Amino acid sequence: MSITNIDCYSISHEKEYDLAMLDPPFDKWNEMQKIPVKAKTYVCFTNFQNRHHVQNIFGNPKFEMIWHFKDGRWVSNKMPRHTHEHILIYGELRYDAFTGEISNNRKPIKKGKGSIGRDTDLGERTYTPRERKMLNSVIEIPRNVGKELGVWGKPIDLIYPIMSWLTKENESVWDGFAGSGTFGCVAKSLSLQYDGFEIDKDTTIAANKRIEKYNQKKRGIKTLLDGW
C-alpha cells in the first residue's frame, strides 16, 4: 500500500478498480479530457466553479454529497462566505449507505399506534435499530486549517465514512491525485488494496511516511461516527 511518484496520465491503467477517488486541484478539472481509469464507482471532489467540467466528463452524478465546514473562506465582499464543497458520485452504488461502528444494542422499541400519511390503521408498531447508523448526504467536518497538510487537504474524518460506504474489505481503490495521502490512510484502516499516484516527489515521500505511520485506533474514529 503506497503512492507512486508519477503523473497518473502518463501510464496505462489496465486494471478495473472497485473505487476511483478523484481529487485534483479544482482548476485542473477543465484539463481532464476523459475518465483516467476504469472503475465500478467514482468519487469526484469539486466546487461550484468547476463542477460543470466534472459533469462534461462523467455526466449527471448518481448521487451528490456536500462537505460543509463552518471554518469557511472569504471569496469576495459581493459573495457569501464559502463553506462547502461538492462530492459527485458516479457508477455503481453496491452497498447500503451505513457507516460507523456496529451497534450491539438493537433491542426493538415499541412505537405505539401512530399514523403515516393517509395510513391510519397500522396497529402496534415496533422499530428495530439498524446495525449501523445511516450516512447523511451532508458531512460537517472542519478543514485542516493550520495543519501541515495544507488548508484544502481532505480530513480523514470526511473520507472515512464515504469509503466505508462504497467498498468492502480487500476491494481495490485508485487514487490518481494522492497529495498528502488521506485516501491511502483510510484505505489502510478499511483493509483495502490501494494504488496511489502523485506527481510531486517531496509530497509523495511525505505521504508514504504518513500512511506507514497511520494508526486508526489512535484517532478515536468511533467517537466521531457515534454522532451520525
Question: 126 and 217 share a domain?
Answer: no
- Measuring CA to CA, how many Å separate 222 from each of 25, 101, 117, 190, 217? 30, 6, 36, 14, 9
The residue among 112, 132, 152 that closes a domain is: 132
The pTM score is 0.83
**pLDDT value for 125:** 73
Residues 128 and 139 occupy one common structural domain: no
Q: Are residues 76 and 176 in the same domain?
A: yes
Q: What is the pLDDT of residue 11?
A: 83
Determine the pLDDT at residue 220. Answer: 44
User: What local confidence, expressed as pLDDT, does residue 222 receive?
Assistant: 44
Let me know whether 53 and 41 are in one domain: yes
Of 159, 123, 153, nearest in space to 139 by CA: 159
Residues 161 and 109 in one domain: no
Residues contacting residue 95 through CB under 8 Å, at least 6 positions apart: 165, 166, 167, 168
Same domain, yes or no, for 35 and 110? no
**88 shares its domain with 106:** no
CB 64 within 8 A of CB 87: yes
Whether 80 and 116 map to the same domain: the answer is no
Q: Which residues of the chain have pLDDT under 50?
A: 220-228
Q: What is the pLDDT of residue 210?
A: 93
Q: Which of 110, 132, 154 is the last residue before a domain boundary?
A: 132
Annotate 203-224 with b (16+ C-beta within 10 A) or e (fewer).
bbebbbebbeebeeeeeebeee
The per-residue pLDDT for 167 is 97
How many domains does the chain fold into?
2
52 and 75 in a single domain? The answer is yes
Same domain, 82 and 184: yes
112 with 142, same domain: the answer is no
Residues 121 and 31 in one domain: no
Per-residue pLDDT at 105: 76
Pick from 216, 96, 102: nearest CA to 159? 216
What is the pLDDT at residue 1?
A: 78
Q: Are strands 172-175 and 193-198 parallel, antiparallel or unpaired?
A: parallel
DSSP 106: -
CATH code at position 187:
3.40.50.150
Look up the domain containing 154 and give its range: 2-97+135-225
pLDDT at 216: 73
| Cell numbers representing residue 181 in the block | 495521502
